[in-house]
A = this chain, B = another copy of it.
Amino acid sequence: MTALTRRGLLGSAAVVAAGSLIAPTAHAAAPASGKQVPGFYRYKIGDFEVTTFNDGFVKVPKLDAFVVNQPLDAIQKVLEESFIPKDDVRVQFNPLLVNTGSKLVLFDSGFGDNGAATQGQMLTNMAAAGIDPKAIDVVVISHFHGDHISGLRAKAGSANFPNAEIMVAAEEWAWWTNDSETSKAADVWKGQIANVKRVFEPIANDVKRFEYGKELVTGITAIDARGHSPGHAAFVIASGNAKLMYIADVTNHPAIFARHPEFRLWADMIPDLALTNRRKLLDMLAAERMPMTGYHYPFPAVGYIAKRGDGYDFHPASWQPVL
């Protein structure tokens, strides 16, 4: 290759034409795409293949009705520290699919067609990922709030995962199906109680109820994480030496509720127990440096928990271009 001298650079017209990168004339502007990439992402935990799906989001309508034990300025300060717009806090929904090699296991169902326009994207994202809902063997439910169960059944009544066994925590089942408990619940839960009936009544005989500490599917163990709901469960997903904890709603958005575990989410049904189990599980994740994922963590929602001060930081795992 000749030296890149000024003479060489100026070169001859013939050389420039032969290798030209330059357009002689302007051309029409490319249209904007206007479309986001599909919301799914894959990673491995040992031999297991995990796929996270985004099911959409909801804007928080009123900050001090979302965090119920803090003044507005304290909530806004935390948002500012994490560069979250104070007037546009979004809670995402991110169900998890684990292929164990012998079973396709979905954790929580998303909304299906039962949510608002910004919700219920999982089935579309599953299609983009080449996953047939009919191929799902097991749906494990962390708890019975609508964003985690509504998508088990379409609004018209049909099952979205028609070949899947549905597994739920025995304590969660016991509370929501006990009229003497649910009749004492605050009015805000009335719609949720009706939704539980809509989803589960037609299949009540067949729902598998599990105890904490039990292995549900090879490698997948339920963990006591009560407080957010009466029978809320987390899960350890283990293959070989690798582990992932799915904490479901042990914390909602990590920039708020992991950073400040004492901030109380409106939907924490037994707040003191929720706080106790939040600290217990986040301490465990930090001590073991265990990979974790949370339903309301920013997509793709996988990372690590570190203790800092009186709270915890979420460190997203680096996105990987290959599995």
A interface residues with partner B (beta carbon < 8 Å): 1-6, 8-11, 13, 15-16, 18-23, 26-27, 29-30, 32-42, 49, 51, 54, 56-57, 81-84, 90, 92, 99, 101-104, 118, 121, 129-132, 135, 137, 139, 152-153, 157-159, 161-166, 176-177, 179, 194, 196-198, 200-206, 289, 298-300, 303-304, 306, 315-323
Contact = CB atoms under 8 A, between A and B. Distances in A.
Nearest to A165: B22
B23 A137 contact: yes
A316 B254 CA distance: 13
A33 B179 contact: no
A320 to B, nearest CB: 7
B29 A101 contact: yes
Contacts of A35: 42, 323
Question: Would you list the 8 A-B pairs with minimal beta carbon distance, nearest first?
Answer: A19-B202, A9-B204, A23-B163, A22-B206, A83-B304, A21-B159, A4-B197, A299-B319
B42 A33 contact: yes
Given A10-B205, A298-B319, A164 B33 contact: no
Contacts of A289: 83
A205 B11 contact: yes
A166 B21 contact: yes
Q: Is the interface of A mostly helix, strand, loop or mixed?
A: loop
Given A179-B5, A316-B316, A322-B118, A33 B15 contact: no
A137 B26 contact: yes
A194 B1 contact: yes
Contact of A51 (B33, B152, B321): B33
A161 B23 CA distance: 9
A176 to B, nearest CB: 8
B163 A16 contact: no
A307 to B, nearest CB: 12
Contacts of A16: 202-206
Given A19-B153, A21-B153, A27-B163, 15 more contacts: A9-B177, A19-B158, A21-B161, A29-B101, A29-B103, A29-B104, A33-B51, A36-B41, A36-B321, A37-B37, A37-B38, A83-B304, A118-B322, A299-B321, A316-B316
